[in-house]
Amino acid sequence: MKLPLIMTLRKISITSWRKVDVEGENVYTGKMQPREQAKIYVDVQDIYCSCDVRLLETQYLASEGTKPHVFGEAVSALDRALEIAFSIMVDEERAVLNIQIPGKYISDDLTELVVFSCVVCLKIIENGKLIFDFTPKEKLGVATRYKNIGICLYKEGSLAKKLAAFFMFRDAIKWLLMIGPDETKDILGEFQIMKIHCYNNIALCHLNQHRYELSIAASTVALGIDMKNVKALFRRAVANTELQNYEFALGDIQAAFAHDPNNLLIKKQLELIKRKQKAVSEKYAQAMRKLFT
């Protein structure tokens, strides 16, 4: 694929997905920016990377401008950062990209910041539809695809893959939230099941990262749809246990046990909560005895 060379280049800098800086004016007046689900080509040149490029597991670099990609389906940390840059660019624009990514998002063995730079040219083959043109069924289909990609990533087991899975679950929820209440009539059952799955997966990701309040929030959304959902009850119980909210944890774990009494994880968590409650009660009783003796 031969892409046009433009002399004036913008510089796009991305720091840990939290900050995006753009230097230079966009001279591509009237040209399109890629929408999610667009089919795009990218030509990447003048690559610099502070780590072994193979660790990046990037599809955009591997294709060398010969393979179309679906914009929005990036899996690796670098590809997600690249897509942030692509969302700022317009069709046939050539730009300089400077990207910084925490090493943990790349590989479990990397602790230092990964620095990546390149010159990239973007070509839109077929732009994605406006969000208003997606049917509720199509939105649900995109959410389902993202959720399934996330599950495959999570099952690979590494921290970097689990972090990548979190972003896929998050994007799945984004598409579910774009389905209005008046649009769910014909897909209500599928919609609710998918929403429960996604929020449960988000709760698990937060739990693994010790973000217990966020895990509780995600589990609570799932339970708002199905108050008997065992996974949501269990994960909220675990998060509340870690926060020493034992009464809340006990209520959830007992409800989970009532629905799934043969689940060994639930049984162990129930025993753990009771032990912790007992230890707290004994400690409180000892303090009270010392106070009044």
Q: Out of 63, 96, 126, pick the residue that ends a domain.
A: 126
- The structure tokens listed for 50 are 């502070």
Structural domain contains residue 264 = yes
- 249 and 143 in a single domain? The answer is yes
- 223 and 270 in a single domain? The answer is yes
Structural domain contains residue 216 = yes
CATH of residue 106: 3.10.50
Structural domain contains residue 291 = no
Sheet with 10-15: list strands edge to edge. Answer: 19-23, 10-15, 94-102, 113-126, 39-49, 69-70
Q: Out of 126, 148, 173, pick the residue that ends a domain.
A: 126
Q: What angle do CA 231, 234, 239 make, to 5 degrees?
A: 120
Q: E strand or H helix at 173, and its extent?
A: helix 159-177
Q: What is the per-residue DSSP string for 2-57? A: -----SS-EEEEEETTTEEEEES----TTPPPPPTT-EEEEEEEEEEESS-GGGG-
Q: What is the domain range of residue 68?
A: 10-126
Please answer whether residues 11 and 46 qualify as being in contact, where contact means their C-beta atoms are separated by less than 8 angstroms. no
Q: What angle do CA 107, 194, 265 make, to 5 degrees?
A: 65
Q: Cα separation of 88 and 293, whole Å?
A: 71
How much is the pLDDT for 5?
46
Structural domain contains residue 2 = no
- 207 and 244 in a single domain? The answer is yes
- 148 and 48 in a single domain? The answer is no
- 275 and 137 in a single domain? The answer is yes
pTM: 0.87
- 82 and 199 in a single domain? The answer is no
Q: Out of 95, 126, 157, pick the residue that ends a domain.
A: 126
- 223 and 116 in a single domain? The answer is no
- Residue 15 DSSP SS3: strand
Q: Name the domain count of the chain.
A: 2
What is the amino acid identity at position 207?
L
Structural domain contains residue 3 = no
Please answer whether residues 160 and 134 qualify as being in contact, where contact means their C-beta atoms are separated by less than 8 angstroms. no
> Minimal CA–CA distance to 249: which of 228, 272, 281?
272
Structural domain contains residue 25 = yes
What tens-digit pLDDT sequence spans the chain (293 residues)?
Answer: 554 444 578 999 998 666 899 998 776 568 899 999 999 999 999 999 999 999 999 999 886 657 899 999 999 999 999 999 999 999 999 999 999 999 988 988 888 999 999 999 999 999 999 989 999 999 999 999 999 999 999 999 898 899 999 999 999 999 999 999 999 989 999 999 999 999 999 999 999 999 999 999 999 999 999 999 999 999 999 999 999 999 999 999 999 999 999 999 999 999 999 999 888 777 766 766 666 66
